[in-house]
Amino acid sequence: MRPIALAAVLTVVAAGCGGDQRDGGASAGPPRGAQLDTTGKEAALGASTVTLRHRPTGFSIKAPSGFTLAFRKGVYVLKNGRLAMSFSRSVTDVTPGQFGNALLRQLGGNAVAREANPREFGARLDRGQRREAFVVVRDGELLAVTTSSSPISVSVPLRVLRQAAASARGGVALRAPKGRPVSIPLQPYTTPDGLGKALVPAEPGWQFVGGNGIVQGARADRGSFVYGAGINILTPERAPADTPPSIIVHRFVNAANALREVIPKLYGARGIRIAKVLLDRPFPTFSSSAVFLYDYQVNGRPWTGVALVATDTPANYGGLAWFFYYSAIGVPRGTDPAVGVGLLRSWRSWDPSQAINARYQRMRQLLKETNEIWRQTNEYRARAADRQSRDVGCLLLGYYYIEDNSRRYDLPPLPCGQEYG
């Protein structure tokens, strides 16, 4: 019988994990010796242990009597009849919680116990007729991964695995090759009006809405996103006295202040704190724009997110209003990093081109009716919004030079990397 997830351990190491995770929970008691007793439902604990050695790699580990030791592709495998254990070390900067959750996804099955603290992550799960367990412990730049696999009638306590890990000396460490981060599954989504498309999470429980090129989605315990939200915000000086509460009135601010001051008026985010400016002034068509990494709270729970925010001066809108643009993804702090990876992929897949084309066709019809329509603020706003949407999409696709010469000729924006001849 193979030890628990020998291939799975190698797969997780090779795949790596992204994002930021903070683990909480109670740690188990002090480790003690162990000896297998297949007549009980839990391996009996005792002091009968032996030291096993792999001399070619200078490795040694203490294990219950009766085990033998072999070395396979960087993993030390211990066997005793139908009971198997393994020990490996990996050079990685991911947390024990990130590694442990990724290993759980690789293994599948039904998790029957889970223990975690910032230094370690342990779990026990049932897979068919086998009972699997593992403990992941941070040791400097290394993660030590100790696993067991036994018949369903036998349970190896997590403290036995901790004891084995604590006794390990010498040996080799696995180094993960560069690989793609793990992502949640995604599926195609088109808004009901057909004007916006994106890949969105395929997990149960997510809800999606959208229209006019905007795509939004959320699941309270996993994350949220909004792509292409743009609104006109009235200036306090020009707002009518009877402006309804549904219309936002706010002074013109730059992108950073808009994130902190306007977003709480639109969504449930509170206590917004900008952690880092990832990209400054990505859009030359706006007065102010930036991509931010930021922290915030939703219903008292800490979240973290990435937002592309841009603001355009009231001078371009007759002094009555200013334009606010917002696209963002966010996840609860300390949760599955695969969600953040998946939402970034989703963001990059967002396609508002049908909305841009529809607005351009409406504008052309208006121009046929009167040559003065193009001078009106609404027409200017629509054309500016189309160019700005195009710039957003090009940036997300990896184009760092995002201007085109459609502005010079007053024509609709072209696909990324193209210009009018």
Q: What is the DSSP string of 85-106?
A: EEEEEEE--S-HHHHHHHHHHH
Q: Which of 127, 152, 175 is the last residue of a domain?
A: 175
State the helix-helix crossing angle for 353-369 and 377-396, rounded to 10 degrees: 160
How far is C-alpha 26 from the geometric centre of its chain's CA atoms?
Answer: 25
Exposed/middle/buried for residue 5 (C-beta within 10 Å: 0-12, 13-18, 19+): buried
Cα separation, 148 vs 24, in Å, equals 23
Express each pLDDT in 37-75 by its tens digit: 333 334 433 458 899 999 999 999 998 888 999 998 889
Residue 149 inside a domain? The answer is yes
Same domain, 40 and 155: yes
Considering its fold, how many domains does the chain have in total? 2
How far is C-alpha 51 from the geometric centre of its chain's CA atoms?
Answer: 42
Same domain, 124 and 208: no
Residue 210 has pLDDT above 70, yes or no: yes
Residue 180 inside a domain? The answer is no
Residue 33 has pLDDT above 60, yes or no: no
Cα separation, 150 vs 141, in Å, equals 30
Residue 218 inside a domain? The answer is yes
Same domain, 12 and 159: yes
pLDDT reported for residue 73? 82
pLDDT band (50, 70, 90) for residue 389: low
Q: Which of 175, 199, 224 is the last residue of a domain?
A: 175
Contact 329, 225 (CB under 8 A): yes
Q: Which of 122, 149, 175 is the last residue of a domain?
A: 175
Same domain, 284 and 343: yes
State the helix-helix crossing angle for 96-107 and 6-15, rounded to 10 degrees: 130
Residue 420 inside a domain? The answer is no
Structural domain span for residue 279? 186-409
3-state secondary structure of 288: strand
Express each pLDDT in 213-248 by its tens digit: 899 999 999 999 999 998 999 999 999 989 998 899
Cα separation, 176 vs 250, in Å, equals 50
